[in-house]
Structures are given as structure tokens and as C-alpha cells.
Amino acid sequence: MSSDLATEGASEPLYRIGVAARLSGVPVQTLRVWERRYRVVGPNMSPRGQRLYSSPEIKRLALIKQLVDLGNPIGNIARLSTEALTAMLAAERSHSSPVVDAEPLKEVKVALVGPALSARCLQPAGFGSLFRVVAHCARPEDVERKLSHADADLAMIELATLSAEPMDAIERVKQACGAEEVLVLYRFAPSKLIRQLRAAGHHVARMTSDADELEALCRAALKPRPFAQDDAAGDGEPPPARYTEAQLAAFAGAAAGRVYCECPRHLAELLMSLGSFERYSGECASRSPEDALFHLELQQSTGFARALLENALQRVAQHEGLPLPDDIPEARNAA
């Protein structure tokens, strides 16, 4: 069990949390949560209070990670012995057809923009082991000259303060280095601008100096987005909301007493709820890079659902002879 592993002899090599995370495939933030909530391992502590992990503990973490990726809840397997985990993984693989091993981690080609990020390139082990910095520049005005033809997988852009529209600058970076994905790191930013960046398809996170966290942020940004959108919802980003809450409330009021069924009112209320949740998921606090990416996907999926219901409301209005929400005088005045 994990508690026995923590007391093994000092002659065995011990690894710090960043190395343990890379070897096991469990992100640092996830590993800390698993330890705190489920006690998946009982690592040794150095005299300075740093977590130290043995090889058997890292093997155990890797087993748990693979089982979680196969759909097993962490709470159901966290306390199992390493032998039981090994047997469970073997059984699940034997029942899967065909057996597909997890894809190995690949090197990530990154282009960096910003003074702090560029300075890390000059430091030994400035980034995680799976990074390869293909181009960098400290000043935005040097982007075209220094990042041209970098052929990067990801552009990591340092914007210490998001106080103005950064879209043009981000597009210049993407065009220069050829990156498909952009990760914007900030220290201070209004929530409205963060929502706009995420709605534009960019990944946004607070600036960090920890190499393991930077690597995890890059991995999260490059992961395929698991939420498949229905063809009727369209591709890319969801369209902006057609109606304000005031317009929808006016539409619900206008429909009252004019039609037999309650569908117009219910649709208007659903759209108001979806709009609120769409905004909330864009602002919701995230505990890890994976959590931030999940909230972005949740926000976008809600946006597509809202767009589908907006189409439905338009058809209902036409069928019942009702004015559309943005055609109601009271709603126009409120907007």
C-alpha cells in the first residue's frame, strides 16, 4: 500500500514532485489534489518540507493515471494496493479490442513572447523537459523579425496587464510563428477581457514561474477538445447572443395571454438561464490548466446550445405570430 512505500530505505532514489509528475504522467496540480483528498501515495518529506517520491510510488501513480484515463473514478481506486491496480489494468486491457497503449508524450515546439518568458530561455532547465523553444522575443515589435517561420505548435504570450484589446497583437504572433494554438499568460486582467480572449479560442491563465506548471498549461492547450459539437450548431466558435435578458423578458411578457401554450415563455426563460451560465462558466475559477480548458469547453458548448434555442425561439415566434425579442419597443428601449 502507499503508506508502506513512504517508509522504504534511504538507499532508494527519491524524486521531487516535478520529476515524479513527468515520470508518472500525472500533472503536478492533479497529484497534489489526489494526495490531499485520496492519499494515493504517502511521499517522504525532505528536511526542507519538499515531497520526495520513490520509484514504487511513481509506478503506483502511473497505474492510477492509466486507470482514471480508462474511465475509473479516482475515489474507487485510490486506496487499492499496487498489486490490485496492476491486475485491474491488465484485466481492462485484455477486454479492450484492440489494445491501444497511451500515446507517448511528444516534444512541444513553443514560441515565446515577453521579457520574463524570454529570460527563462537563457537559464539552465528554464522550461520542462518536453519543451523545445524554437523562437523567442522580449518585445512585441520584434515579433515579425524574430518569430518568422518558427513553425511552432504553440505560441506562449506574456501580457502582464491586459488593459487594452490584445487581439491584433496575438494575431501577429500567430501569423509570424505559424502556431495553431495560443496561450496568454497574465498577471492582472479584467474578467471581461479574459472572457473575450477565451471566446476567441485562446487559452488564458495566470503567469507562473514554475516550469512544471508551464508545461502542464502547454499540454492542456494542445489537447484535442473533447466536446464534439452537433453539425446543426456549426463549427468553430459559437455565435454571440442575439438577444439581451431585457429583450427576452419583454418577449415572454408579450407572449403571455396571446398564445395557448407556454412554449414562448419557457424558451425565453431557458435562454436567459443559458446566457447566465455561459457567462458564469467563462468566469469560473479554475484549479488547474485542465480545469481551465474544461471551463472553456463548457462555455463554448453552452453557447452552441444557446444558438440552437435562439433558432427555436425564432420559429416559435413566426408560428405564433409574435414579434421577435429585438422587435419589441419596450425591449429596444431597455437595451
- The domain spanning residue 135 has which CATH number? 3.40.50.2300
Given a contact cutoff of 8 angstroms between Cβ atoms, the answer to whether 32 and 24 are in contact is: no
Q: Does 201 reside within a domain?
A: yes
Q: Does 103 reside within a domain?
A: no
Can you name the residues that pair with 110 across neighbouring β-strands?
A: 133, 154
- Considering the domain architecture, whether residues 212 and 238 belong to the same structural domain is answered as no
pLDDT in tens, 296-305: 778 888 888 8
Residue 229 confidence (pLDDT) = 41
Residue 1 CA: distances (Å) to CA of 9, 16, 20, 57, 335 = 16, 20, 18, 9, 62
- Considering the domain architecture, whether residues 124 and 215 belong to the same structural domain is answered as yes
- Considering the domain architecture, whether residues 90 and 112 belong to the same structural domain is answered as no
- In this prediction the pTM is 0.42
Q: How many CB atoms lie within 10 A of CB 174?
A: 20
Provide the greatest CA pair distance for the chain: 82
- Considering the domain architecture, whether residues 118 and 216 belong to the same structural domain is answered as yes
Q: Does 130 reside within a domain?
A: yes
Q: Does 101 reside within a domain?
A: no
CA atoms within 13 A on the CB side of 68: 18
Q: Does 129 reside within a domain?
A: yes
**Long-range pairs of 75-83 with CB within 8 A, sequence gap ≥ 24:** 75/38, 78/34, 78/38, 78/39, 78/40, 79/1, 79/38, 79/39, 81/1, 82/1, 82/5, 82/56
- Considering the domain architecture, whether residues 123 and 210 belong to the same structural domain is answered as yes
Q: At what angle do helices 263-283 and 191-199 cross, to 10 degrees?
A: 110
CA distance 88 to 81: 10
- Considering the domain architecture, whether residues 132 and 208 belong to the same structural domain is answered as yes
Mean pLDDT by 10 residues, the chain (335 residues): 39 80 84 86 83 88 86 83 85 56 61 82 53 83 85 86 76 87 84 78 79 71 54 59 88 75 86 89 70 77 88 81 74 51
Given a contact cutoff of 8 angstroms between Cβ atoms, the answer to whether 102 and 69 are in contact is: yes
Q: Of 174, 193, 222, which closes a domain?
A: 222
- Considering the domain architecture, whether residues 189 and 285 belong to the same structural domain is answered as no
Q: How many CB atoms lie within 10 A of CB 62?
A: 18
- Considering the domain architecture, whether residues 130 and 50 belong to the same structural domain is answered as no
- Considering the domain architecture, whether residues 172 and 217 belong to the same structural domain is answered as yes
Residues 6 or more apart whose Cβ sits within 8 Å of residue 186: 159, 160, 161, 162, 194, 204, 205, 206, 207
Q: Does 145 reside within a domain?
A: yes
CA distance 103 to 182: 23
The boundaries of the domain holding residue 89 are 2-95
Torsions phi, psi of 203, nearest 5?
-95, 135
Q: Does 100 reside within a domain?
A: no
Q: Of 222, 252, 283, which closes a domain?
A: 222
- Considering the domain architecture, whether residues 210 and 278 belong to the same structural domain is answered as no
Torsions phi, psi of 137, nearest 5?
-155, 150
Q: Does 196 reside within a domain?
A: yes
- Considering the domain architecture, whether residues 149 and 130 belong to the same structural domain is answered as yes
- CATH number for the domain spanning 40: value is 1.10.1660.10
How many separate domains does the chain show? 3
- Considering the domain architecture, whether residues 114 and 15 belong to the same structural domain is answered as no
CA distance 173 to 145: 11
Q: Where are the beta strands (DSSP E) in 175-264?
A: 181-186, 203-206
Given a contact cutoff of 8 angstroms between Cβ atoms, the answer to whether 156 and 183 are in contact is: yes
Q: Of 163, 194, 222, which closes a domain?
A: 222
Can you name the residues that pair with 154 across neighbouring β-strands?
A: 110, 181
Residue 271 confidence (pLDDT) = 93
Residue 61 confidence (pLDDT) = 92
Q: Name the residue among 55, 85, 56, 82 with its Cα closest to residue 70.
A: 85
